[in-house]
Amino acid sequence: MKVTYKTIGILVVASFVVGIGAAELSGLWKTESTKEPVTIKEGEFAGMPNPSDIRGSYTWSDVAKAFGFDVNLALKAFGASDPLVKVNTLESIYEGASLPEGAEIGTDSVRLFVSLLTGLPHTSEESTILPFSAIEVLRAEGKASSDLIEEAAGRAYKPGAAGEAATAAPAASVADSAADARPAAVVSSIAPAAAKTTATAEPAAAQAVTTPVPSSSVAQASTTTTVHTPSPTKTGVEGTGEGAAPGTITGKTTFKEIKAWGLSEEQIKSVTGGEIGNDIAAIRDWVVSKGLSFSEIKAKLQEMLDAR
Amino acid sequence: MKVKTARLGKKGSRKARRIVQIVFFIIVAVTATGGALKEKGITIPIIPEASLHSICPFGGVVSIWQFLNVGTMVKKVHESSFVLAGIALVLALLFGPVICGWVCPFGTFQEWLAALGRKIFRKKYNTFMPAKLDKVLRYLRYLVLAWVSYMTVVTGKLVFQDYDPYFTLFNLWTGEVAITGYIALALVIVLSLFVERPFCKYACPYGAVLGVFNLFRIFGIKRNAPTCISCKACDKACPMNIKVSASKVVRNHQCISCLECTSEAACPVPATVEMLALPGQVKDTFGQKSTKSDSKAIGGDK
Ligand code: SF4
């Protein structure tokens, strides 16, 4: 059989037309990510959308629709006006703002906001903070515990405050929420049981945080974890990737790193349900892709690490 | 018999490739522009909108590892890339890298520059590269492929974007291009005036992937030695500088299935160089042993 110019020309065009057409019909032709976050697979919130899976390519309206709240709340919270603009524009909006060093208002701030608004779990990056306008919305509408919201308020950015995050939260609530923390760590929980655990903190540590912590240092080295598990992440200065304390699991920690810190494959599998991601995969990405709760798995792995 | 030069005559058949190339170039340019405008919040009715990454099959190739291991795609890559990579795979199994020779808009762009280079240097065009250097550089694209694959697996991001002249060409105005991308594009433009398809020959990681299919494609370029008059018109016509006249079956890893060497285009003798089914034929077509020049050539047939 001889293949001519004409034959190849027709076959090439036909392959694309038929291939793309078939993919379109079967729903495989997707040129952008779906605007529906993966659902939480286990635990109290199973079946609910996972705030950790919010992508920068979602618009405000996508986020509001996926999590079932009024888009105006998000717009008001972040000072945005167009519901059809992508949330990743936040970074450029706040680029010129004099945020505390190392602090960031970006897509992860939206995840944190949604988590506090809906009461769904999410572990945010250590550098993530919210604008103060978001705190006002959360205080009025947030389903998360007021402790958590006030904790976020303690690190929030108030425009016009000369680059300082507004420590607007009452001192008592900051002390409560961070009671078990080593200096500058903010770890808390939605569940009352977890809050109780939080309260059984080492007095020395509690005292250390009761004194107002300079907001910028809080912003630099803390992670707000909104977990529903009764065993919240242990105390400690939470960091992620660069600048994180070795042995502290964060959103960027890979399987290779926790192995290097001393956890065996079996120990990891005992927490992740018998499976383990590739060495260089970030634990959070892998866990989210499996529909598991990163907050829970992180807490368990961290417990193992701390026990060593 | 008077031998026509490779670039003259038989325009009718060759037109088919030109048309297909132009159609794909326009589709990609319009779609990528629509996608970039959408990113900026501008929507133009009728114009399809998709990022260049989502309509590039190479994104599907570099996402395979992450998809199988983590279940997610590399950032900016979507399911559409898998679909396109699948189509390209089937076509490559059958006809070799037709994507390079018929579809890739960046290959087309380089061919347009080649037309200009040919006008400037005439017969000297595409003969400047020293053979020894050329031979070594032809393997560079496999190194690029290895580096891109490794970095994409490690970072989960499309690391090649910052160095990709193809991405740069269609995103010149978007502000998304790194300075290294502009340098790469400028380099390709200048080189294309001397060498045909320099990016395809030396640096394209996707060309490296598809090139491998030349070794076992079902339909391939055959030269019928008994009717061949050794005019070497096929060699002169080949944009990839493959010595078709020294081959019985072109199994060179750089062939892009453009058919320029065939009796439909460059070859003056009917039914002498053709694309035919190659059942079980890996090296020889007409029962002859490889010539000395075969073994010297890249891929055994240059
Ligand atoms: S050998 Fe023939 S088909 Fe292959 S690239 Fe050269 S001219 Fe095109």
CA–CA dist B41, B193 (Å, integer): 38
- What is each CA distance from B126 to B138, B198, B293, in whole angstroms? 14, 10, 20
* Subunit contact A280:B70, Cβ cutoff 8 A: no
CA–CA dist A306, A58 (Å, integer): 36
User: Which of A119-123, A258-262, A290-294, A296-300 is predicted with the least confidence, judged by mean pLDDT?
Assistant: A290-294
User: Which of A171-180, A258-267, B16-25, B204-213 is predicted with the least confidence, judged by mean pLDDT?
Assistant: A171-180
Please check whether residues A178 and A248 belong to one and the same domain: no
Write the residue in A11, A19, A31 that is nearest to B78 by C-beta.
Answer: A31
> Checking phi first, is residue B259 left (phi over 0); if not, alpha (psi -120 to 50) or beta?
left
The CATH code that applies to domain B217-302 is 3.30.70
- Which amino acid is it at B254? Q
- pLDDT score recorded for residue B71: 67
* Subunit contact B79:A9, Cβ cutoff 8 A: no
Ligand 1 pocket check for B55: Cβ under 6 Å: no
pTM of the model: 0.64
Ligand 1 pocket check for B237: Cβ under 6 Å: yes
- What is each CA distance from B125 to A278, A295, B131, in whole angstroms? 49, 62, 14
**pLDDT mean over B44-54:** 80
Kindly report the protein residue whose alpha carbon is nearest to atom 7 of ligand 1.
B238
Please check whether residues A148 and A77 belong to one and the same domain: yes
User: Which of A98-112, B41-55, B166-180 is predicted with the least confidence, judged by mean pLDDT?
Assistant: B41-55
- pLDDT score recorded for residue A244: 52
Kindly report the protein residue whose alpha carbon is nearest to atom 4 of ligand 1.
B255
The number of distinct structural domains making up chain A is 2
Where along chain B do its domains lie? 2-212, 217-302
Please check whether residues A71 and A176 belong to one and the same domain: yes
Q: What is the pLDDT of residues B225-241, one digit of tens each?
A: 999 999 999 999 999 99
Q: Which of A98, A99, A100, A78 is nearest to A89 (CA)?
A: A78
Tell me whether residue A217 is in a domain: no
User: Are A75 and A93 within 8 A, CB to CB?
Assistant: no
- pLDDT score recorded for residue A140: 92
User: Are A237 and A222 within 8 A, CB to CB?
Assistant: yes
Q: Which residue has the higher pLDDT, B163 or A39?
A: B163
A221 and chain B in contact, CB less than 8 A: no
Write the residue in A11, A31, A281 that is nearest to B55 by C-beta.
Answer: A31
Q: How far is the CA of B96 from the centre of ligand 1 (A)?
A: 10
Q: Which among A20, A31, A294 is the top mutation candidate for probing chain B, defined by the most B β-carbons within 10 Å of its own β-carbon?
A: A31
Domain that holds residue A261: 241-306
Sheet holding A225-227, edge to edge: A122-123, A225-227, A188-189
Residue listed under structure tokens 């994104």: B59
DSSP assignment of A24-57 equals HHTT---SS--SSPPBP-SSTTTTSB-GGG--TT
Ligand 1 pocket check for B221: Cβ under 6 Å: yes
Enumerate the residues of chain A whose CB falls inside 8 A of the CB of residue B257.
Answer: 8
* Residues of B (48-107) whose Cβ lies below 8 Å from A: 49-51, 54-55, 69-72, 78-80, 82-84, 86-87, 90-91, 94-95, 98, 102-103
Ligand 1 pocket check for B244: Cβ under 6 Å: yes
Write the residue in B13, B80, B219 that is nearest to A29 by C-beta.
Answer: B80
Q: What is the pLDDT of residues A222-237, one digit of tens each?
A: 445 554 433 333 323 3
Q: Which among A5, A82, A89, A272 is the top mutation candidate for probing chain B, defined by the most B β-carbons within 10 Å of its own β-carbon?
A: A5
**pLDDT mean over B194-220:** 97
| pLDDT above 80 for A265 | yes
* Subunit contact A8:B102, Cβ cutoff 8 A: yes
Ligand 1 pocket check for B100: Cβ under 6 Å: no
Considering chain A, what is the average pLDDT of its residues?
Answer: 72
Please check whether residues A174 and A298 belong to one and the same domain: no
CA–CA dist B124, B117 (Å, integer): 9
Please check whether residues A178 and A245 belong to one and the same domain: no
Q: What is the pLDDT of residues A122-150, one digit of tens each?
A: 888 888 999 999 999 999 999 998 889 99
Which of A185, A202, A233 finishes a domain?
A: A185
Residue to probe by mutation, ligand 1, list B126, B234, B261, most atoms within 8 Å of CB: B261
* Subunit contact A30:B156, Cβ cutoff 8 A: no
Q: Which residue has the higher pLDDT, B76 or B215?
A: B215
Between A and B, how many residue pairs show a Cβ–Cβ distance under 8 A? Answer: 105
* Residues of A (273-302) whose Cβ lies below 8 Å from B: 277-278, 280-282, 285-286, 289-290
Which tokens is B22 given? 């132009």
Please check whether residues A75 and A150 belong to one and the same domain: yes
Q: Assign 3-class secondary structure to A152-187.
A: HHCCEECCCCCCCEECCCCHHHHHHHCCCCCCCCCC
- pLDDT score recorded for residue B190: 98
What ipTM was estimated for this complex? 0.87
* Subunit contact B51:A277, Cβ cutoff 8 A: no
Ligand 1 pocket check for B265: Cβ under 6 Å: no
Q: Which span out of A158-172, B73-87, B182-196, B283-297 was modeled with the highest average pLDDT? A: B182-196
Enumerate the residues of chain B whose CB falls inside 8 A of the CB of residue A16.
Answer: 87, 103
Helix (H), strand (E) at residue B200: helix B198-202
Neighbour-count burial for A118-142, b at 16+ CB within 10 Å, e otherwise: bbbbbbbbbbbbbbbbbbebbeebb
